[in-house]
Structure 1
Amino acid sequence: METLNAQALKESFRTDGYVFLPGFLSTEEVRELNESVKNFISEQVPVMPHEQVFYEDKDDPATLKQLIDMQKYNPYFDRMLNNSRFRQLAESLLEDAVLPKTLEYFNKPPKIGKPTPPHQDNYYFMLKPAEAVTMWLALEDVDAENGCVRYVKGSHRHGVRPHGRTQTLGFSQGITDFWNENDQAQAVAFPAKPGDLLIHHSLTIHWAEANRSESRSRQAIGLIYWAKSAQEDTEAKEAYRQKLKAELSR
């Protein structure tokens, strides 16, 4: 990144809690990535641990909705997470060395792709300080109909909101007091084309609607980076595990 461009991105990121980089990948890079995803699903998913593969309908392979830690099973995705422009961008925005955490695949299958509840990633990460970024890279055209990403502008400056259990597989916690006047006033939607990149702070409120399309999927890649200076709050993490255990036992 050029110095001026990098500085402008950092200022926008710190002000809004997100940045949008259209055309971050070229047409050829998108083609190669989509082919790699297709091959991964065909070759690796059948042998991956069940806890890293999620379906809308576990009896229907066509409803694949999420894959976790793809970098552990394929060198292409390992390079993408650990040795790439994505990592360099994360370090620039966080102004710190980073710890690459995971590379994931997300999809909302046509007609049955469920909404992603409004949430903040640091509710799951539990970092102090809450310095981390999540990147969301579109693999195909995404709009309001098939579930584009939405943010509450500036929400990263106001701490973690209350979260409670949802019924959405892969996103078990959602904000319980969502859609107050500020949420409504600051809500921003981001339709995207293949290769467009969204990056948000770990405290930025974000969500996506269901896929209402009759025929179009909504595929994307997610990459997560923690700042090296951020530490997990082990007490909060244990309290969260106990909370989940209690909820699941009811």
Structure 2
Amino acid sequence: MFTDAHFDSFKNDGCVVIPGFLSAEEVAALRKRTAELLDSFDPESQPKTTFSTGIRDKHIGDRYFLDSSDKVSYFLEEQAVVDGRLAVDKTRAINKIGHGLHIREPLFAKLSHSNKVRQVAQRLGYDDPRILQSMVICKQPSIGGEVPLHQDSCFLYTRPLSACGFWFALEDCTLANGCLEFIPGSHLETPISKRFFVPIEPEFSLFPPTKDNNKTPIPEQKPVGAECKPIEVKAGSVVLIHGQVLHRSSHNHSDKSRWIYTFHIIEGGYEYDDRNWLQMPADRELTKL
């Protein structure tokens, strides 16, 4: 399913869509399980932790968030909570469910470890791919929050850089309901210059496919002025997202949700930074793909 044309688009643009990666039956099963998880959420027995991307220190010190790497945890849309109480039905309040669905949820684990995912990882050049940060993002109608422009390798930092996102559409994703948007080619000219929100010396990698990263020249940093390109996709599509590419999604002002399942992989043989927010418990290693 991952052709030479897909590989070339990923290498040149930093994102590529593979339509029909999931069958209609797979999509239906994952949607059914997502609905069950939403219905099982008990707002009285769990902390009402809201989620925002791009706000400095928003989640630092939030133990529920930091301990979610191997659990099924629930995070609320900011506009879903008013004065400490849910302002909408609980099934319409969840921003995302994560970050250990590939560990705890059999259907999501089956997809994450499927042969077709392994084949893509191998084609991209991974020797020992590891799965982390798996989650369903709901992007709820009317209140689904904006995700500002960012690079995933800032948050899932390895030496050398190696993060890649797998982003599966469980519903049709459009501009109206907050589809992905990215700056094509930005992974080729935008080094990683911070870890989480802490500035670092700029680092750059063409991974994949180049693995001789010590000889990869760091490009001159340029101001980010290019327009984002929307990625409107049908349910069942997967979008591959290079860890250095600049991408975002807008607020969902529509009356339709935008359910997706996503996880990242990194190269297991590379050093995983102990300052990344996502850390596995001491008795568990990052999951082998």
Alpha carbons 2:138, 2:258 under 8 Å: kept: yes
| Map of 1:104 onto structure 2 | 135
Say whether residues 1:180 and 2:220 are aligned partners. Answer: no
**Pick aligned residue for 1:30 from 27, 30, 37:** 27
Say whether residues 1:138 and 2:135 are aligned partners. Answer: no
Q: How many residues align?
A: 219
Identity of aligned residues (%): 26
| In 1: Cα distance, 2:251 partner to 2:165 partner | 20
TM-score with structure 2 length normalisation? 0.68
| In 2: Cα distance, 1:164 partner to 1:95 partner | 27
| In 2: Cα distance, 1:66 partner to 1:53 partner | 6
Aligned with 2:192: secondary structure? coil
Cα deviations by residue, 1:56-98 (Å, 9 ceiling, x for unpaired) = 1243322101111112322222222224422331232244330
| In 1: Cα distance, 2:38 partner to 2:118 partner | 24
| In 2: Cα distance, 1:131 partner to 1:48 partner | 34
Change over 3 Å in CA distance of 1:96–1:12 after alignment to 2: farther
- The runs of at least 4 aligned residues of structure 1 exceeding 6 Å deviation read none
Structure 2 gap segments, 5+ residues each: 48-63, 66-72, 199-220, 279-289
Give the Å deviation of 1:123: 0.6
| In 1: Cα distance, 2:223 partner to 2:167 partner | 23
Give the Å deviation of 1:217: 0.9
Say whether residues 1:200 and 2:241 are aligned partners. Answer: yes
| Map of 1:159 onto structure 2 | 191
| In 1: Cα distance, 2:230 partner to 2:113 partner | 29
| Map of 2:68 onto structure 1 | none
| In 2: Cα distance, 1:8 partner to 1:95 partner | 19
Say whether residues 1:85 and 2:116 are aligned partners. Answer: yes
| Map of 1:246 onto structure 2 | none
| In 2: Cα distance, 1:78 partner to 1:194 partner | 19
| Map of 1:19 onto structure 2 | 16
Change over 3 Å in CA distance of 1:41–1:84 after alignment to 2: farther
| In 1: Cα distance, 2:27 partner to 2:46 partner | 24
TM-score with structure 1 length normalisation? 0.77
| In 2: Cα distance, 1:80 partner to 1:99 partner | 14
Alpha carbons 1:136, 1:223 under 8 Å: kept: yes
Change over 3 Å in CA distance of 1:84–1:39 after alignment to 2: farther
Alpha carbons 1:99, 1:228 under 8 Å: kept: yes
Amino acid corresponding to residue 204 of structure 1 in structure 2: V
Give the Å deviation of 1:197: 1.0
| Map of 1:54 onto structure 2 | 75
Amino acid corresponding to residue 192 of structure 1 in structure 2: V
